[in-house]
Every structure is written in C-alpha cells, then in structure tokens.
Amino acid sequence: MTDPRLTPLAAGLPATVPFTGPETLERAAGRPFAARLGANESVFGPSPRAVEAMRAAAAEVWMYADPEAQELRAALAAHHGCGAEHIRLGEGIDGLLGLLVRLTVGPGDAVVTSEGAYPTFAFHVAGFGGMLHKVPYRGDYEDPGALLDKAREVGAKLIYLANPDNPMGTCHPPEVIERMVNGIPEGALLVLDEAYVDFAPAAPRIDPADPRVIRMRTFSKAYGLAGLRVGWALGPADLIASFDRVRNHFGMGRIAQAGALAALGDQDWLAQVRGKVAQAQDRIAGIAAGNGLAALPSAANFTAVDCGQDGAFAARVLSGLAARGVFVRMPGPAPLSRCIRISAGTEADLARLAEALPGALQDARG
C-alpha cells in the first residue's frame, strides 16, 4: 500500500534501491560472507595517518564540524592546482549526484547515460522526474560518441560518463575524454564520474573552470574511506557555488573531515594501495584463466570476469559463489551481464575465491 501523502512522482517510483548491501544478503543467508569482494571497497584500508586523525577527532564530536569544510577544501584545491571556489564536498559521489540532479533537472528534462552504467545516477534522475535516455555500450566501453549524439538528439541537460567505468572497469585514454568535452552540445553538462581515477594510468586535462564539465571524485575507493562518505565535486565556480542552495550544510562530520584531510596528505599510502590492487587484479585474472574464464583489463579496483555465456549463466555462478561464502556482483544488463565483477581483495580473500569458483561453475553448468 502506498502512503496517500506522497507526491504523484514519489508514489510512481519503484520501491527499490540501486544496490542491495552485502549486510542485507548476509542477514537473508543467516551467516556472514567469508570474502567480501562485491562492493569495490578497499580491503587494504585507509592510511594509518588517517586512522590516527580520526581517533583524535573522535574526542571532539560534541561539536558540529565546519559546514564549509574549509581546511579540506583548501587541501583539495592545492591538490588540483585550483582555487577552493571550484570544489564542494558532499556525502560521497552518490550524494553529490543527487544534489546536482536536484539543481539541474526538472520533470521531463532529458538526461543521457549508458544502458548498464552506474545505477545510482539513474536513480536520482528518476527521483526528480527527469527523462532518461540510454545508449548501449560499445564493446565493454561506454561510448562517448553515442552519448553526444543522443544528447544532441534529445536536448539533454546532463550527460553522464564514468571513466574508469563502473561496472566494467574499462577506461578511455585522456585524449578521448578531452575530445568528448569539445563536442558537448550547448546547454549540456558532462557529469564525469572519476571515482576510480586514482587507479587509472592518467586523467584527462580539464580546466576546473570549464563550464561544460563537472567532475566527481571520492575518498571511498583508493583512499579506503568508504565508511566515511566523503566525495568532492570539481567544476566551474558558479555551478559549484549553487550546491550551497540545496546541500546539507552540516552533513560532513568532524571525523570524516579529519580522516579525509589526513588521507589526502599521505600519497605514499595511496601508491602502496595502487600496487596491492594491481597484484590482486593479476591474481584474479589468474584464477579466472585457471577456470577457463577471461578477465577484462581494468583501470579500477575490481575486475570484470567474462563467464563465457549469457547473463543467466553468470547469475548462477554468482549464486554459487554466494552459497560458498564469497560476495561478488554482476555488472548489469546484457551484454554486460555475461560477466561477474570481483573487487580486489587480500590474498586470503582471493584464496577463498579460488577455492569456491570451480564448484560454482560446476553448479552453474549442471
């Protein structure tokens, strides 16, 4: 039954969320997962300096945090070589996407994304009444040319692209993204989700003041702070300032600000995490090959593994792994659904994967 007080828009939305959390799956199964390899968290954890900063900040949580997050914004501005007016903090990229859609998309406004791309963006667009237009992937990559063509066709206000891509892990080189920026139709804004850019070989060169682009970054992945929910938007000053019209000004707590600031200052730890992720990706690729499967090249902290058949078969593999205590996810609709997506894990995690995968495949084939 739907509460009669809901707006017509809210009442017409599906009662679903973009992702089912592993904790929900564990409660349903009545036991915890032995290996948590489906949420793209960093099992290698945050910088010890970040942990110490959070510990120190805990004694001061009786105070509200700085609503401007000025110290963290200044550090991020120095990191990017721009002014702090180009940066705004939010509750992870998910929260920032919601604010951006609220600011720019009204009922019926056209928005372009890829079929199978990060579903939380589509969730926000639907929630504010936007009209989603989707284009297919080209191979295992989002298709910048098709996104631009569709944006011109429908008069899109927003164009969403993740690079490196979630869920496939593929990555366009910087020059491809730079050409895409130059092709953005007048009145449209490219939403460039760079959650995994810290694992990429290089990032595109985009002026933060460029009015055609807003970039989203996060401390959840390479910095190992997913539980804090700290993301930042990088873009033209007037658009960035508009976030103050709708954001939760006290949404970023003291512990989160302190941990993120210390994590940003420890680039040596970030380099170590990159190395561990690369080793884990090699291990996942080896496990896949040993079972007759193919791992896709990845510029993220996860690997998409092609199970060689259709989505129904991959779903059975995923279920077989879950039954054996290994949590992974599927990328999305066909043809992406032929894959399972495995986060970089510790050696112990990947040993459990190696032990569980043959039986899961046998069950799926049977």
pLDDT-based confidence at residue 15 (cuts at 50, 70, 90): confident
pLDDT at 206: 97
pLDDT-based confidence at residue 2 (cuts at 50, 70, 90): confident
pLDDT at 18: 81
pLDDT at 19: 82
Exposed/middle/buried for residue 132 (C-beta within 10 Å: 0-12, 13-18, 19+):
middle
Give the DSSP per-residue string, 205-247: ---TT-TTEEEEEESSSTT--GGG--EEEE--HHHHHHGGGTS
Give the mean model confidence (pLDDT) for residues 333-341: 95
Is the pLDDT at 185 greater than 80? The verdict is yes
Q: What is the pLDDT of residues 110-122, one digit of tens each?
A: 999 999 999 999 9
**What share of the chain has pLDDT > 90, as a percent?**
93
pTM above 0.85, yes or no: yes
How far is the CA of 361 from the CAs of 7, 25, 248, 317, in angstroms? 46, 21, 46, 6
Mind listing the domains of the chain with CATH numbers?
8-45+268-365 (3.90.1150.10), 48-267 (3.40.640.10)
Q: What is the pLDDT of residues 86-130, one digit of tens each?
A: 999 999 999 999 999 999 999 999 999 999 999 999 999 999 999
Is the pLDDT at 356 greater than 90? The verdict is yes
Is the pLDDT at 1 greater than 80? The verdict is no
Is the pLDDT at 139 greater than 80? The verdict is yes
pLDDT-based confidence at residue 332 (cuts at 50, 70, 90): confident
Q: What is the pLDDT of residues 229-275, one digit of tens each?
A: 999 999 999 999 999 999 999 999 999 999 999 999 999 999 999 99
